[in-house]
Structure 1
Amino acid sequence: MTKDRNRDLLDPSAILRRLDQSIFTRNIVFHKSLDSTNNLAKELASGGAPEGTIVLAEEQTQGRGRMGRQWFSPGHVNLLFSILLRPTIHPDQIFVLTMIMALATIEATREISGLSPLIKWPNDLYVGRRKLAGILTEFSHGKTGIEHAILGLGLNVNWIPEDGKEFSNPVTSILKETGLKVSRNDLLSGILKLFEEYYHDVLVGRFDHFYRRWNDLSLILGREVEVELAKEKVYGKAIRIDPNGALVIKDRRGEEQKIFSGDITVRF
């Protein structure tokens, strides 16, 4: 594989060729630099852009993660994109979209590199104790249901994060873990093909197998965790992820609690 990173520039036309007959060939918007792919995708959604619109960038200047946290990524080496969906599911089921994006990313990463990341609830992919990817899901709904959903993915691909550089969490990449420099065009196409396959299942109500796989691929289940909530910290053992996306833990009193949102620390 080439050592010249400029030969792995993102190529929308090549991606479209790989996605023949896909919903993701309807509209691809590419920028060398954006503040945030999610921000532009939301603007396009409000303007009536079709389902399957992809917003793709070589770099983001104001990339966001969950809770408004910054997502840092150097240019031309990682995947930074958002997709626009108009799903016919209940707002309470929105978490399944994060779930299938995580599963598609894991499978595509494994196929192209042999690397097998795991899911750190609620929206990150890790290799060991290091963060490989993050998913940001945002949606708008009205009286008739979900108007649109935006799924953003930041995936560290051909970047070697510097040890000792200050990040909110230790980070890694496909290149750092495997020594392989992979085609970002191939990887993105693989993710989108798998996502679309899973999305079709979601739209016809076939969810159960995704929950089983999500639990099977969890980094945290069976481990002691600390969950920081708005006003308190909860300690216990992570037991499962339920169908609404809640983390179920058994606390120190032996009682089960459902956690819908919070910062989680895993005790390895």
Structure 2
Amino acid sequence: MKTEFFNLKRMQSLFRRQWALSAKSWRIAMIASVGINLAISMLILFAGSNPEAALQSLKTSLFITFLITGMVFTSLAFKELQEPTTSVSFLTLPASNFEKYLMGWLFTFPSYSIVSYILYQMSYLFISLLAFAAYGTSPALVSIPWNELGIIFMVLFIVHSVFFLGGVWFKKMAFFKTLLVLFVISMVHNFWVFIWARLLMPISDLSEKEFVISGVPISNADELSHTAIWVLKSFLILISIMCLITAYFKLKEREG
């Protein structure tokens, strides 16, 4: 169905164009990320004779590496708008604002997440095969429970939405400016929580399950903790959706 707002053929053309522009940087970043982490894990594996430590180190370091790389790629989702030499060609593309926005989101979140997950599993399998050859351990892929996978997806979604907005909002050095904004917000938030905690919530003995807030004993601390976590997750998801909506209208404003 052809409309001015969305057209599948235009989306396919945009995807091919985006891949042609980004393929080289993607390959370099992925090869460097995987290669460095594999080299470190192999060093731990053979120098320390500890396959479990090598595999655990690889899982953690790869996740952090792909997360940071994803932040950078997301900040560069609309890099063409940040360069005077390429902004004209981007603005004059035969595509709607929504199509450009959607392509930027698809390329930096679902596509990047799928590629990263495949490389993550392949890297882990490679090291586990080396551990099997050297120490006889069983080779396997990373087994992630569904609840943990949901938490990982939520973290990636939240982080991506913030840096996606930063990539649209800032005209230069979007990644570093977004980090700076997050740092300032974090400092203000921590200061605000500290002040109110000192004024309204004088807590005695944080090591106990039952603690006292303003002289009133609280015995259902676990229930309150679960409720607070649920509220925090809902709030962060709401903020993420608002970031994505704001990014769309900001992109529309910059193109207008």
Report TM bin, short chain.
Answer: under 0.3
More strand by share: 1
**Structure with larger RCO (C-alpha < 8 A, sep 6+):** 2
More helix by share: 2
